[in-house]
Amino acid sequence: MRETQFIQQNKEKWGEFENILEDEYKDPDKLNNLFVQITDDLSYSRTFYPNRSVRVYLNGLAQRIFHDVHKSPSSPWRAFNHFWTEELPQLYYEARRDMLIAFMVFVLAFGIGVLSCAMDPDFPEIILGESYIDMTETNIKNGDPMAVYKQKGMFNMSLGITLNNLMVALLTFLTGVFIGAGSLIVLIFNGIMVGVFQYFFIERGLFWESFLTIWIHGTIEISCIIVAGAAGITMGRGLAFPDTYARDRSFQLSARRGMKMMIGIAPLIILAGIIEGYLTRNTDAPQLIRGIFILISLFFVLSYFLWYPALKARIGFAPPLHSADLTPDLNLKINYHSIKRNGEIFTEAFLFMRNHLRSVFLLIFGCTVLYCLLVFSSSSAINDEIFNLPTNWFDFLDDFDAIIFNEHLPLLPVFMGICVMILTTGINRLMIRDSDATWPSWGKLLIDLLAAIPGTAALLLVFYAPGGITWLIGSLAVPLSILWVFITQREAEGNPFKGIQRTFSLSMPQFGKMWGLSLIMMGTGMFFLGLMHTGVVGFFLDVINWIVNLPAKQMDKFGIVFLMGLQVFMTFFVLAMLLIGFGLLYYTFSSIQDAGDLWNKIAKIGQQRRIRGLERE
């Protein structure tokens, strides 16, 4: 082939390859295919055109991708320094309007709290609680009005306050998902509470003592809450005003920006907790020293969040080490015929949920509604005696079996079993369709549901184990039960005996791998279940209580139904995640034992492939 003909035949492909290299975001599959072709063309040119420019050109093209892939990563210290001195200040500068809104709302709420106390002497009891007011009054009579900061040891107090403040900041940020309104409501609530707390001491002639005590830690703490509110407004703004992005893509970008702003205040919240636990209690320290400490804290807050970002904006921010833009929304596919590590399976479980988000959500929501309808229609009453809903994460995990076994509701295991069978079968059929590119027969649906009964029963019995050993047994029995259901529906044509035999045949040689994935998936599931006890749920119940004017008994019933529904929804979400993860694990086990992908590759050995008219073995 003449050189001119070779160039004419391949110039379109080479141009496409150059365009991909220039693009900031590269489709890895396309890049891989083109790179293989470029190296083939380079080999051809070395053979037939060794002294021509086309060989030099192709060699340079191949080197560009090689250096791009194998370039040395940036220094971790450089990335760390860039984040705190360049990226965060730029984010705070770009969010300056949101920070101003958050500050003004907090100040307005603070004023409302002060004015309400001045007009109504009983208002502090409504906000702070009667017990807290009585305790503080007693401390004032004893001559130590700030004794509340000395009740616990320094470390325990510092740890408790830090965790509480982190939860408050997280709540302030997360509620911004409601187009920013939730963050504003939390800021109003906190602003009123701080205003009431401060005026309570002013009214008793203790302004300076309370000011120097409260704001020695409150300067940083309250500033962080305001910044968390601004981060929530930033996140909500992306959802409400998507600009030229699709709404979901705009929300991804704004949520990422908000999360980085939250990362910026996390160390300061910890610092404020340490100050409150170790320094605030020293009320005997000279007022001048405490006042200087407050001014230093205020100077730091104003410098880092306002003056330094404004200065950097005038000078110019350094270019980002990594692009902050969204990557193209590629249609990523899961390869079901390869052997994967647990980390890859974990990642692909969320990829599967993303690719089938609507179907998975409808399955979870439908099963939640069905469970609640069956439970509340069969119970004689809706009260705390029948439905014992835990108030913290540890109690919830300890009494997790309450949604499966309840002495007041003997049919509860049946109700849960029906919902789990439906959810399991729905997820499995989605995965079978995704792997085989065809829907399982609808005529087989009843067989699949019946095939899920033994595995579902085994899954529910795991939580009948006493106390804390439930989770230890569960880490072993849950994956086996899920695999049993999946294999019975996928391979055994509804025969549970063949299914259990195949389950042990696949899983026992890879027991460590299965258990490792189980710990990863169940640990992640516990994190999602723990989100119910971050204060967000209680906050929204309080908001609903303010908006909906119902009698106390009916409001209690509504609260039970709301909390039960949310608890069951999160449980089914975690179960769906486990079903997907262990379903993907099945395909890895199958590839290890049956070597289906290897046989396909062996079958292709010796086949001829043509690339631009050239045969290649």
pLDDT in tens, 134-174: 888 888 888 888 888 877 788 888 888 888 888 888 888 88
Confidence of residue 326 (pLDDT cuts 50, 70, 90): low
Domains held by the chain: number = 3
> Does one domain contain both 258 and 123?
yes
For the cut 60, the answer to whether the pLDDT of residue 321 exceeds it is no
For 547-608, the three-class secondary structure string (H helix, E strand, C coil) is HCCCCHHHHHHHHHHHHHHHHHHHHHHHHHHHHHHHHHHHHHHHHHHHCHHHHHHHHHCCCC
> Does one domain contain both 221 and 357?
no
For the cut 70, the answer to whether the pLDDT of residue 226 exceeds it is yes
> Residue 516 domain-assigned?
yes
> Does one domain contain both 222 and 299?
yes
Query: Stretch 582-606: mean pLDDT, rounded?
Result: 67
Boundary of a domain, candidates 44, 70, 96: 70
Whole-number mean pLDDT of the chain? 81
For the cut 70, the answer to whether the pLDDT of residue 601 exceeds it is no
> Does one domain contain both 111 and 199?
yes
The overall pTM is greater than 0.85: no
> Residue 391 domain-assigned?
yes
Q: Residue 197 and residue 113: Cα distance in Å, rounded?
A: 8
> Residue 100 domain-assigned?
yes
> Does one domain contain both 149 and 275?
yes
Q: Which two tokens stand for residue 554?
A: 């009916």
> Does one domain contain both 103 and 185?
yes
Task: Look up the domain containing 57 and give its range.
Answer: 3-70
pLDDT of amino acid 66: 63
> Residue 613 domain-assigned?
no
pLDDT of amino acid 602: 43
Query: Stretch 239-251: mean pLDDT, rounded?
Result: 79
> Does one domain contain both 223 and 152?
yes
Query: Stretch 360-387: mean pLDDT, rounded?
Result: 86
> Does one domain contain both 509 and 573?
yes
For the cut 80, the answer to whether the pLDDT of residue 210 exceeds it is yes
> Does one domain contain both 65 and 85?
no
Distances (CA, A) of 142 to 158, 190, 205, 322, 341: 24, 28, 15, 58, 64
> Does one domain contain both 198 and 274?
yes
Q: Which two tokens stand for residue 325?
A: 């833009």
**Dihedral through CA 111, CA 117, CA 123, CA 126, nearest 10?**
50
Q: Residue 111 and residue 162: Cα distance in Å, rounded?
A: 26
> Residue 324 domain-assigned?
no
Confidence of residue 610 (pLDDT cuts 50, 70, 90): very low
> Residue 107 domain-assigned?
yes
> Does one domain contain both 255 and 110?
yes
> Does one domain contain both 302 and 386?
no
> Residue 381 domain-assigned?
yes
> Residue 606 domain-assigned?
no
Report pLDDT digits (tens) over 81-126.
888 888 899 999 999 999 999 999 999 999 999 999 888 888 888 8
